[in-house]
Amino acid sequence: MVLEACVICIDNSEWMRNGDFSPTRYDAQFDACNLICGRKASDNAQNSIGLITSGGDRTEVKVTLTDDVGEIITALHKVKIGGRLKFVQSLKIAQLALLHKRNPNQMLRIIFFVGSPITDSEQEISHIAEVLKIHKISVDLVAFGETEVNSQKLEIFMNKLGDSSRLILVPSGLGISLSDFLRSTPILVGGDSNVGGDTNVGGEDNYNDSLRNTDPELYEILEMSRRAYEEERLKTGTDNPDTNPSNTEPSNTEPSDLPPLDNDGDVQMLDQDMDEAIRLSLLTGSGTEDMNIDNTQVQNNPPSITPPEVQNNPPPNSSNQDTGEIDTSNLGSEFVTNILKELKGVDMDDPSVQNLISNLFNNNDKDKKDTDKKD
């Protein structure tokens, strides 16, 4: 943790009444100062903070270096808006205030909010920058108003300072508050900025640099995770829809193609599946080895099924018992007809069925006559 003595210079000029930052520039600056003071105090209990107003009739030191954040917040509520920004004069007074630091090991820093035009000359700005550099005082400039007007003077000022100084350019119309914008900047996350000071350092690259300087182990873990994710993304090609495996063969399945469900949520068997199961069962039961039989042939010519009553109760004195044939001599025509009617898929009006019944009983009558003649 960095041990610092920090002086915050706030802009309380007439330009701070502008409403391009919600609700006004000064209110946005007030919230940002509150956030910075809390962060400095939490980073190190021995940090000290001071407050200076740079607008109005003259520059005033509202609070000397102190570790009491409540005193800074109370002084902010008492600041009045008016006058013009006195940039160079405020920096000189802030330099004198830092000379009275409590701890000789404290680093010196000035956080300056600029929300109005800078009226000082470029020569004066360049000179005060050299003085601050000699005394090893770092400066964080937060330019959140009139940035185009001040861009050239801010560039000259930052070029004279060292690498530890930072320039935060906050454009208006971002849709977020000034405090939220500063949360991702080196002012609140630590770290160094780029030399030159004419760029916006509130981006992701500078945040990563700050994290690498403050917590190298956490930065290395995040980098390993990011590299692993990038390798996996390139391997699967998730960013390119043409190479996405899920898009190579689009599915043609429609809800109408799916099998119906019963009340229990199970898939109902279709008629053709039932017919195929019956066909395979019949072929297995008859000992048939040829499984390549046309399904239509089975449906048009169903196999004959022996009535269960005949299979289970054959005549005791059947002469055809050894050959596997069934003796139908003792069966009446009405009995056979009733059995056939009960079988599904048997049409009694079919000429072939009628023919089968008539031939069956005609043969029985002939056999009876032949046996009677022999007797």
The pLDDT of residue 62 is 95
Domains of the chain: 4-202 (3.40.50.410), 282-374 (no CATH)
Q: How many CB atoms lie within 10 A of CB 106?
A: 19
Q: C-alpha distances in angstroms, 171 versus 20, 74, 146, 202, 206? A: 10, 29, 9, 11, 17
Distance between CA atoms of 216 and 256, rounded to whole angstroms? 58
For position 241, what pLDDT does the model report?
Answer: 42
- CA–CA separation, 25 and 15 (whole Å): 8
Q: What is the pLDDT of residue 237?
A: 64
pLDDT given at position 199: 37
Structural element, H or E, at residue 79: none
Q: Are 305 and 343 in contact (CB under 8 A)?
A: yes
Query: What pLDDT, on the 0 to 100 scale, is given for residue 370?
Result: 60
For the chain, 375 residues long, the average pLDDT of each consecutive 10-residue run is 91 93 92 93 92 92 94 94 95 94 92 95 94 94 90 92 89 84 84 38 48 65 76 67 43 47 51 69 54 48 48 46 49 68 72 75 60 59
What pLDDT shows up at residue 210?
55
φ/ψ (deg, to 5) at 4: -130, 155
CB 129 within 8 A of CB 160: yes
What pTM was computed for the model? 0.53
* pLDDT value of position 240: 45
pLDDT at 280: 74
Six token digits for residue 13: 């000029």
Q: How far is CA 148 from CA 15, 83, 128, 214, in A?
A: 15, 21, 22, 33
